[in-house]
């Protein structure tokens, strides 16, 4: 548990692209790696993208730090590793909203301690593609058997495994009913709404242009008719004048 009452602390390791969680560790296991009491042979001679995660009641993520773990050629975490994960998450700025309001997030582009920014990384995805959403989904799977209580009465015996099963059933049902396209993220909804607004504007502009063309055609027709009436009027006036001259000649 972290210093904050009831919150669990875990470390998630990502692939090189930061698009998939590959390993999950309890914070105590990560401390053993930092102390070089254990190693990451599969990540030898690399810099691993990782996430420090605080988990609260209902397996809800309460804070995330996206940080880098330098691993030497023997598979041990670099002895110079010194990222104050707890401090960073406590002072993190607002990250994406994944259901409970903006999440505290420290990452490369949003680091409360500027000189530690180079030791962090950032997610380029949006919605379900964002690293924080991938973190939340991994936590919901609860492969580590987390049981955060967050100091709320009545939650100590909460069946989190059943909750995760319900989450998975709901996710499977959405996929079965709508396919992957049915699980639309907020940015995608905003994009779709913007496209709909654009389509409506284009239809309105097309209708307006069509009406304007019809009005101009009507105006041209009216002008032609007026011109014809003027010609007819002049002809009638000329005919009347000639008749008057003939009448005056007779008298």
Query: pTM of the prediction?
Result: 0.59
pLDDT at 242: 85
- For the ranges 74-88, 91-105, 193-207, 223-237, which has the lowest average pLDDT? 193-207
Residue 1's pLDDT band, with cuts at 50, 70 and 90, is low
Task: Give pLDDT tens digits for 60-73.
Answer: 999 999 999 999 99
**HEC letters along 136-196:** HHHHHHCCCCCCCCCCCCCCCCCCHHHHHHHHHHHHHHHHHHHCHHHCCCHHHHHHHHHHH
Task: Give pLDDT tens digits for 203-241.
Answer: 877 877 888 788 788 888 888 888 888 888 888 888 888
Residues 6+ apart with CB under 8 A from 246: none
């Amino acid at each position: 548990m972290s210093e904050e009452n009831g919150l669990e602390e875990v470390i998630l390791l990502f692939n090189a692209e930061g698009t998939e969680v590959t390993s999950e560790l309890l914070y105590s296991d990560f401390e053993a790696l930092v102390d070089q009491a254990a190693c990451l042979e599969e990540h030898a001679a690399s810099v691993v993208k990782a996430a420090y995660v605080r988990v609260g009641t209902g397996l809800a993520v309460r804070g995330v730090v996206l940080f880098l773990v330098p691993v030497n050629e023997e598979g041990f975490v670099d002895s110079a590793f010194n990222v104050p994960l707890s401090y960073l998450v406590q002072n993190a700025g607002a990250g994406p909203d994944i259901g409970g309001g903006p999440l505290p997030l420290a990452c490369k582009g949003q680091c409360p301690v500027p000189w530690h920014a180079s030791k962090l990384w950032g997610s380029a995805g949006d919605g379900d593609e964002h690293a924080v959403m991938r973190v939340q989904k991994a936590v919901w799977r609860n492969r580590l058997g987390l049981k955060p209580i967050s100091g709320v009465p009545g939650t100590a015996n909460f069946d989190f495994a059943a909750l995760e099963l319900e989450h998975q059933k709901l996710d499977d049902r959405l996929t079965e009913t709508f396919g992957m396209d049915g699980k639309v993220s907020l940015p995608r909804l905003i994009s779709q709404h913007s496209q709909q607004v654009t389509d409506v504007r284009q239809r309105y502009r097309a209708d307006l242009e069509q009406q304007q063309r019809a009005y101009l055609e009507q105006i041209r027709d009216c002008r032609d008719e007026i011109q014809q009436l003027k010609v007819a009027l002049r002809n009638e006036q000329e005919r009347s004048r000639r008749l008057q001259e003939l009448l005056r000649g007779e008298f």
